[in-house]
Amino acid sequence: MRILVSGGAGFIGSHLIDRLMEQGHHVICLDNLFTGTLQNIAHWQNHDRFEFIQHDIVEPIDRSVDQIYHLACPASPVHYQFDPIKTLKTNVMGTLNMLELAAKYGGKFLLASTSEIYGDPLVHPQTEDYWGNVNCTGIRSCYDEGKRAAETLTFDFHRQYKTEVRVARIFNTYGPRMLENDGRVVSNFICQALRGNDLTVYGDGSQTRSFCYVSDLVNGLINLMASDCILPVNLGNPGEYTILELAQAVKQLVDRPIGITYKPLPQDDPKRRRPDISRARSVLNWQPIVPLRQGLQETIDDFRRRISH
CA dist 122 and 109 (Å) reads 30
Over 164-208, what HEC string results?
A: CEEEEEECCEECCCCCCCCCCHHHHHHHHHHCCCCEEEECCCCCE
Q: Phi and psi at residue 26, in whole multiples of 5°?
A: -90, 120
What are the CA-CA distances from residue 26 to residues 4, 53, 239, 257 (Å)?
Answer: 9, 14, 35, 48
Helices (H) and strands (E) in the chain, counts: 10, 13
What are the CA-CA distances from residue 266 to residues 83, 101, 149 (Å)?
Answer: 18, 38, 24
Rg (CA), the chain: 19
Q: Would residue 202 show up in a list of annotated catalytic residues for this protein? A: no
Q: Which residues on neighbouring strands pair with residue 209, listed in sequence order?
A: 241
Q: What is the DSSP letter of 93?
A: I
Q: Are strands 208-209 and 241-242 parallel, antiparallel or unpaired?
A: antiparallel
Q: Phi and psi at residue 64, in whole multiples of 5°?
A: -70, 125
Nearest residue to 32 (alpha-carbon basis) of 51, 60, 12, 10: 10
CB 4 within 8 Å of CB 55: no
Q: Phi and psi at residue 3, in whole multiples of 5°?
A: -120, 125
* Catalytic residue from among 143, 174, 213, 241: 143
Cβ contacts of residue 88 below 8 Å, gap of 6+? Answer: 142, 145, 146, 149
Strand blocks (E) in 7-160: 26-31, 50-54, 67-70, 108-114
Catalytic residues: 143
